[in-house]
Chain A
Amino acid sequence: MRLRLTLLALAILAPPASWPQSLRFRPEVTTEARFFGSRPQFDQQLRSVQGSLVLQGELQWVAESGRATATIEPYIRLDAADDDRTYVDFREASFARSSGDWSVLVGFSRVFWGVAESRNVVDIVNQFDTIEDFDQGEKLGQPMIRVSRRLKAGSLEALYLPYFRKQLFPGSEGRLRAGVVSDRAQFQRAGDEWAGDFALRYSATLGSFDFGTHLFHGTNRFPLLLASPSTDELTPFYQERSQAGLDVQYTTGPWLLKLEVASVQIDRDDFFSAVGGIEYTFFGVGSSALDLGVIAEFLHDGRDLRHSPFNPFDRDAFAGARISLNDPQDTQILAGAIIDTRTNGVIATAELERRVGERMVFELEARYFDANEDPFLGAFESDSHVTLRLRRFL
């Protein structure tokens, strides 16, 4: 049945063969080195330097009408120290077609929902690529059928996600982990990875307001990690999740006011997750071209600790700054820290990005953990690190 549906979708989407077409290929190689300052928490973990090579690229075909596209974006990471951090993903492998107000996408793709900077509680479609980076900035490609319809005011989209992407975890040699997590996961829903998720979203712009509202039913992206007496490894357990959410941004002059709220049900636990705050930009600081944006956000997550042992964003504050030099090299600096107001646990990050020549980008990233009383961050306390990255576009 599933196969037949897919074939039907492909038949609808197949473009007429007569269209003139354009083909584009943009490969990219990244070399990366992570330096850890402290001795590892566990014996098997790598000591101080973790080297990686990333091969990625985008191969895209666009019909001359611009109304049909096929895109493939493979992502291959080869890690010198951690076998589990050597992996292949398709960030995108999709075919999309639009006609009038309708557009349809089938395949692996990525979707972004939300407005906030520190965490996006409404951004539920994709699994985060947690082995790539500690923050929730990278995502795994998600198999989906996405149908969008532009309305007189705003647009509506419906998504069916036939296959669930499990989180990736560092191996025994890897840093930034608590225990070692087993590849074999357990699921609450029948059908395991094939249980199928649904999402619906309406988004619109109304004057100075940009907002979106959504419904989701499916599998929780964040597993519980269960210890078992028979093995040292932790077993991920993925529960059922339903949520309804709202995200809104109000833009006025140099101010951005942001709010994301989700009402979540996981198993028998009902709770709210929210993030809200402000971003203010000082343009042309000291009559230079430099722009300085300051960001302050508050995070709340009402998940009951009896149902989930860790709740890192239960009551946190985020403060950050974004500096754009507005130079020909597009130099950007981002710095920020999330502080748990209950445990005083801190995650601080600073990032610098600058183009070198026409086809290279240099990135420097520093991340610092201070657990204090925080049980979740306790596992990362010795894993503060600096990452150097050189991206080369071929």
Chain B
Amino acid sequence: MKPPRPLMIGTALLVLCHASLLARANEGLESDDPTARGYAIAKRADESDAGFGSSAAQLTMTLSDSRGRETTRELRIETLEKQGDGNGDWSLTRFFSPPDVEGTKLLSQARVLKSDNQWLYLPALRRVKRISSSNKSGPFVGSEFAFEDLTSNELGKYEYIYLGEEDLDDGSRVYKVQCNPLYERSGYTKLNCYFDTETFQSRRIEFFDRGGRLFKTLDLLEYRRYPKGYWRSHRQIMVNHLTRKTTTLQFGEFDFGVELERRDFDPSALEIP
């Protein structure tokens, strides 16, 4: 028997490779083990964002109290994709309003299971100050978002348990996954995470406090797909069920073309306007 021609081998290999890639992408998604299946869903969500490099977006944060009184803050967040294991995404947040906090910057080098590294720039004093960041569960600038809600959803932050499929109010189908925080100082006992069955993007998160009560619900709305295939929610609404306060984040266009490097996320860069 004649050996197959090299081209044929190549094609066969390609087909095999492709099949195994598909199999790997869907690996665990059909698993009977709820832990493996939950992890597989979260992994797909995480991978859908891999390789974005850096991005920047302006947003308006609206805080409203139980009586509907509103306060707004204008921010810009620049993000550098995580570098290496154990690290989360790095971010630089600039505040534009209210006017008394204009020019304030927060640099955060997120780490998955440890305290993040954080520096604050206080423009009135021209002071760069390393701050304690062990309070991942603390409120972010008076909002209903905790620091840990804003740092990107790193795969390694939770243990996952698949709970089933559900329909959201708008009719879209979601996977319901229980996420148990692994960070010891987390403010939550568990999260119910809802992932879109088609795009694998996070659509809703329910947060349960240390007493096990449903404490907050985050809805992630107005998803748009950017040219390189990355999905971003442009409207996020966090409702605190205990205080009846809400915080809405309304994002502008995400800029994936922004050229940011590691050194732009160094404390020495904070003094540059």
Q: Which residues of A contact B (CB under 8 A)?
A: 26, 28, 60, 62, 66, 69, 71, 96, 98, 101, 103, 110-112, 115, 137, 148, 150, 154-155, 203, 205, 210, 249, 251, 253-256, 279, 281, 283-284, 289, 291, 326-330, 355, 358-359, 361, 391, 393
Contacts and interface: CB of A to CB of B under 8 A. Distances in A.
Contacts of B187: 284
Contact of B266 (A96, A112, A150): A150
Given A205-B266, A359-B98, A391-B100, A281 B273 contact: no
Given A150-B268, A283-B138, A358 B98 contact: yes
A253 B134 contact: yes
B135 interface: yes
Contacts of B132: 251, 253-256, 279, 281
B121 to A, nearest CB: 10
Contacts of B130: 115, 205, 210, 249, 251, 256
B86 to A, nearest CB: 13
A249 B125 CA distance: 18
Most-contacted residue by chain B among A98, A137, A289 (CB, 10 A): A289
Nearest to A288: B139
Interface of B: 63, 65, 71-72, 97-102, 115, 117, 125-132, 134-135, 137-139, 141-142, 187, 263, 266-269, 272-273
A256 B263 CA distance: 24
A253 B135 CA distance: 9
A154 B63 CA distance: 38
B83 to A, nearest CB: 15
Contacts of A391: 100
B267 A205 contact: yes
Contacts of B273: 60, 62, 66, 69, 71, 96
Nearest to B70: A328
A391 B100 CA distance: 9
Contacts of A289: 138-139, 142
Given A329-B142, A358-B99, 9 more contacts: A101-B263, A154-B268, A205-B117, A279-B132, A291-B138, A326-B139, A330-B142, A358-B97, A358-B98
Most-contacted residue by chain B among A154, A203, A254 (CB, 10 A): A254
A359 B142 CA distance: 17
13 contacts: A101-B263, A111-B126, A205-B266, A210-B130, A251-B131, A253-B115, A253-B134, A256-B130, A283-B134, A284-B135, A284-B187, A358-B98, A393-B98
Contact of A359 (B65, B99, B126, B141): B99
Nearest to B103: A58
Contact of A328 (B63, B115, B269): B63
A106 to B, nearest CB: 15
B98 A355 contact: yes
Given A26-B99, A69-B273, A328-B71, A203 B268 contact: yes
Given A203-B268, A255-B132, A359-B99, A112 B126 contact: yes
B102 A26 contact: yes
Contacts of A101: 263
A148 B263 CA distance: 14
Contacts, number: 97
Contacts of A28: 99
A103 B269 CA distance: 10
Contact of B263 (A103, A150, A251, A329): A150
Contacts of B101: 330
Contacts of A26: 99, 102
Given A203-B268, A330-B142, A283 B100 contact: no
A382 B40 CA distance: 71
A-B residue pairs, 8 tightest by C-beta: A283-B135, A393-B99, A155-B268, A328-B71, A112-B127, A253-B134, A328-B142, A112-B126
A155 B135 CA distance: 29
B125 A112 contact: yes
A281 B272 contact: no
Contacts of B267: 205, 210
Contacts of A71: 273
B245 to A, nearest CB: 9
Contacts of B126: 110-112
B99 A327 contact: no
Given A256-B130, A355-B100, A98 B272 contact: yes
Nearest to B101: A330
Contacts of B102: 26
B272 A103 contact: yes
B188 to A, nearest CB: 13
Contacts of A249: 130
A327 B135 contact: no
Contacts of B115: 253
Nearest to A100: B263
A80 B2 CA distance: 105
Contacts of B98: 355, 358-359, 393
Nearest to B71: A328
Nearest to B269: A150
Most-contacted residue by chain A among B65, B72, B101, B130 (CB, 10 A): B130
A255 B134 CA distance: 9
B266 A326 contact: no
A284 B72 CA distance: 23
Contact of A291 (B63, B135, B141): B135
Given A112-B127, A361-B100, A284 B142 contact: no
Contact of A393 (B72, B100, B117, B141): B100
A123 to B, nearest CB: 10
